[in-house]
Structure 1
Amino acid sequence: MKAAKIYGPKDIRVENVDIPQLEAGTVKIKVEYAGICGSDMHEYLAGTYPIRTQPVLGHEFSGTVIEVAPDVHTIKIGDRVAVEPLIPCGKCDNCRRGFVNLCISRQGYGYTKSGGFAEYMVASEENVFLLPDHMSLELGAIVEPTAVAVHAVRQSQLNVGDSTAIFGAGPIGLLLLQAVKAAGASRIYVIEVSEERRQKALELGATTVINPMEVDAAQLILDETNGGVDVAFDAAGVQATFHSGVRSVRPNGEFKIVSVWEKPVTFDPNTIVRTEAKISGSYAYVRLFPEVIRLLASGVIDGNAVITSIIPLDDIVEKGFEVLTKDRKQCKILVKPNQG
């Protein structure tokens, strides 16, 4: 079968590899769609993460079950599924406290185990989640990034009626927008340099979009909200959005960081001291796939809105990773490993 392997910065190759074999408690999946994630882009541009122990990428994917181990009882051949990539150890203190996303010995499909940028993959039964009959496999590949956004909103101090700002309108930013809207945010600012993405944000329910190249986004927000939003989310991961995001929250508000960063940032701690605002992080999710599948299947969150291209596996570099480095009109690019 074909699979996309990463060997270093700007070095991803589609190669022929053996089809993985079933083990106890696992199912074999024909991968239908797999999304290119911001963290995949980070590895492509800046180098692989320390957690990576094998080269086959892809942790946002859906597919059809084609084989099950004899001891698997909840999944059957023909089932359409999404795969949760996180594999916590279940034994460390973080796991025992319920923070499985922060497991110190975690593994993951697409990192320590062969991922979804391949024609076939094998996953543990407990990591496989059934999709409703009326939910497309394309949407199945959006479950993982949507879980990231939903977890971030759940972890934040956002309450019904609150105001919020989202810095960055890529896939996570647009999913955050829909998640805060579903959570009851009354005013939603989206800050984004791309005109196409700002327009998409308006279509998805943003009340105000701001081009930070033309105006001081934080100052505009401070002026219009009489002191700042209740919660701001960073979905861009650059110095400028960090600086503006911290400035844009009200006293005792929250700046929630969801993005992956390639470089450290600097900021004035007095900004936080003087306002008693909070800076907090959000990492992955904690067993949210069933809830997120319902949100996508019901249309409460429109996953199709973030999909801009579907490409074959052979074109993953030229029409996937390279395009995403240059074209701000692109949002979520799905890879289809199996053609026909």
Structure 2
Amino acid sequence: MKAARYYDRGDIRIEDIPVPEVTPGTVGIDVAWCGICGTDLHEYLDGPIFVPAHGHPHPISGESAPVTLGHEMSGVVYAVGEGVNDLAVGDHVVVEPYIIDPQYSTEPGTNYHLTPNMNFIGLGGRGGGLGEKITVERRWVHPIGNDIPLDEAALIEPLSVGYHAYVRSGAGEGDFALIGGAGPIGLLTAAVLKAQGLTVAISELSALRRQKALDSGVADYAFDPSTVDVAEEVRGLTDGAGADVAFECTSVNVVLDTLFDAVRAGGVIVVVSIWGKPAQLDMQKLVLKEVDLRGTIGYMGNHPETIRLVQSGKIDLKPFITGKIGLDEIVDKGFDTLIHHNETAVKILVSPSGAGL
């Protein structure tokens, strides 16, 4: 089968590799669509980061580069291993792409996403969505029914990131939220917040992305921080108080600074983005406003709730699919577009087999 294999920084190769074996307790999935994630871009530009470098195998997966990329995937079950009785061939599914040390529980309510050496399928090994087929442990496979189109379903993984960030924030219906950055995670976090009854404002330099936020209905307000004082605008909309909660989705220091200015006293800031370098923080603003600064990573038991939110019709994922390509186009029409023309794209989906293109 064909797969996109990560060897090193700037080195992704399309290769033929063996079809993975479906063993007891696992599910074989024909990958329909896989999204290119910002994490994949970080690996391509600055890695290896999550990908174990060649000759340095990951302590859980036992694998090192080259590995098959891709963790935002949807597909159709083509085989089930012995002991899997609650899924059937033909079921439409998505994958919660974790690699977790088996000594730790992954039962609901456990913080399995914070366990030592946690990594992700499609980064730390165990196959990836940028291959035609993948075999995944049953616990990480979530059925989605037939009402969610498979292309839209590929966005459930990043949407779950937004859902977990929302849970971490403690925000509720009627609150005012400010999001720094209208990239894929910023927009999908906004979609979750709107579905939960919050008023949402976004700060974003790109006019195209601001318009996408407004046209898709996930933001009530979209500000250009190069032309307006975002904190002042937010205070004007909140009777001078400021935002109840803010989400940092850029890994840009000036954006984090803006959120500290815009959030109300006693408010919450959730850092969603992955930072590749240390940030500077005005501790006086943190202290004098009693701001609660929180981190968030991935998701923890959030896929079922996220899927139900999409099934309910409260979130429309179609507007965020801005490109569909084949595996052979992954570098020139995928990575290059997202690196050099990222304002024109939100989520580019890859069909490993070419079906549906």
- Is TM-score (shorter-chain normalized) higher than 0.5? yes
**1:157, CA displacement in angstroms?**
2.5
2-side partners of 1:216 and 1:93: how far apart?
47
Q: Against the structure 1 CA distance between its residues 109 and 194, is the aligned structure 2 distance closer, same or farther, given a 3 Å change threshold? A: same
Structure 1 residue runs of 5 or longer lacking an equivalent are: none
Are 1:28 and 2:28 counterparts?
Answer: yes
Are 1:255 and 2:269 counterparts?
Answer: yes
2-side partners of 1:39 and 1:50: how far apart?
9
Asked whether the 8 Å contact 1:235–1:259 carries over to 2, the reply is yes
Amino acid at match of 1:123: V
Which of the numbers 135, 152, 156 marks the counterpart of 1:122? 135
The worse-fitting range, judged by mean Cα deviation, of 147-156 and 40-49 is 40-49
Amino acid at match of 2:120: G
Aligned with 2:78: secondary structure?
strand
1-side partners of 2:143 and 2:28: how far apart?
14
Are 1:161 and 2:174 counterparts?
Answer: yes
Asked whether the 8 Å contact 2:105–2:112 carries over to 1, the reply is no
The worse-fitting range, judged by mean Cα deviation, of 272-281 and 14-23 is 14-23
1:242-281 aligned at under 5 Å gives the runs 242-281=256-295
Asked whether the 8 Å contact 2:108–2:301 carries over to 1, the reply is no
**1:153, CA displacement in angstroms?**
0.5
1:125-144 aligned at under 5 Å gives the runs 125-144=138-157
1-side partners of 2:17 and 2:352: how far apart?
13
**Matching residue of 1:89:** 101
**Matching residue of 1:338:** 353
**1:145, CA displacement in angstroms?**
0.6
**Matching residue of 1:287:** 301
Amino acid at match of 1:99: N
Aligned with 2:307: secondary structure?
helix
Q: Alignment RMSD, CA only?
A: 1.9
Asked whether the 8 Å contact 1:92–1:104 carries over to 2, the reply is no
Aligned with 1:66: secondary structure?
strand
**1:134, CA displacement in angstroms?**
1.8
Aligned with 1:252: secondary structure?
strand
Sequence identity (%)? 37
**1:109, CA displacement in angstroms?**
1.2
Amino acid at match of 2:23: E
**Matching residue of 1:78:** 90
Asked whether the 8 Å contact 1:22–1:69 carries over to 2, the reply is yes
Please list the CA deviations of residues 222-272 of structure 1 after superposition, one character each: whole Å capped at 9, or x if unmatched.
344313100000111111211111221111101111111222211211011
**1:211, CA displacement in angstroms?**
0.8
Asked whether the 8 Å contact 1:94–1:104 carries over to 2, the reply is no
Asked whether the 8 Å contact 2:245–2:268 carries over to 1, the reply is yes
Which of the numbers 218, 221, 232 marks the counterpart of 1:219? 232
Please list the CA deviations of residues 13-52 of structure 1 after superposition, one character each: whole Å capped at 9, or x if unmatched.
1112111112221121111100111111111111122563
**Matching residue of 1:176:** 189
2-side partners of 1:291 and 1:205: how far apart?
18
1:101-120 aligned at under 5 Å gives the runs 101-112=113-124, 113-120=126-133
2-side partners of 1:97 and 1:151: how far apart?
13
Are 1:69 and 2:71 counterparts?
Answer: no
2-side partners of 1:188 and 1:121: how far apart?
37
Asked whether the 8 Å contact 2:28–2:79 carries over to 1, the reply is yes
Q: Against the structure 1 CA distance between its residues 291 and 237, is the aligned structure 2 distance closer, same or farther, given a 3 Å change threshold? A: same
**Matching residue of 1:318:** 332
1-side partners of 2:49 and 2:200: how far apart?
33
1-side partners of 2:120 and 2:211: how far apart?
35
1:228-243 aligned at under 5 Å gives the runs 228-243=242-257
Asked whether the 8 Å contact 1:26–1:123 carries over to 2, the reply is yes
What is the TM-score when the length of structure 1 is the normalising length? 0.94
1-side partners of 2:103 and 2:82: how far apart?
26
Amino acid at match of 2:228: V
Structure 2 residue runs of 5 or longer lacking an equivalent are: 53-63
Give the aligned length: 339
**1:97, CA displacement in angstroms?**
6.9
2-side partners of 1:216 and 1:11: how far apart?
41
Asked whether the 8 Å contact 1:74–1:125 carries over to 2, the reply is no
Amino acid at match of 2:70: G
**Matching residue of 2:61:** none
**Matching residue of 1:190:** 202
Aligned with 2:68: secondary structure?
coil
Please list the CA deviations of residues 82-138 of structure 1 after superposition, one character each: whole Å capped at 9, or x if unmatched.
111013335349989711111214343112311111011111112111121121111
**1:220, CA displacement in angstroms?**
2.6
Asked whether the 8 Å contact 1:189–1:206 carries over to 2, the reply is yes
The worse-fitting range, judged by mean Cα deviation, of 204-213 and 229-238 is 204-213
Structure 1 runs of 4+ aligned residues shifted over 4 Å read 92-97
Aligned with 1:15: secondary structure?
strand
The worse-fitting range, judged by mean Cα deviation, of 143-152 and 258-267 is 258-267
The worse-fitting range, judged by mean Cα deviation, of 253-262 and 1-10 is 1-10
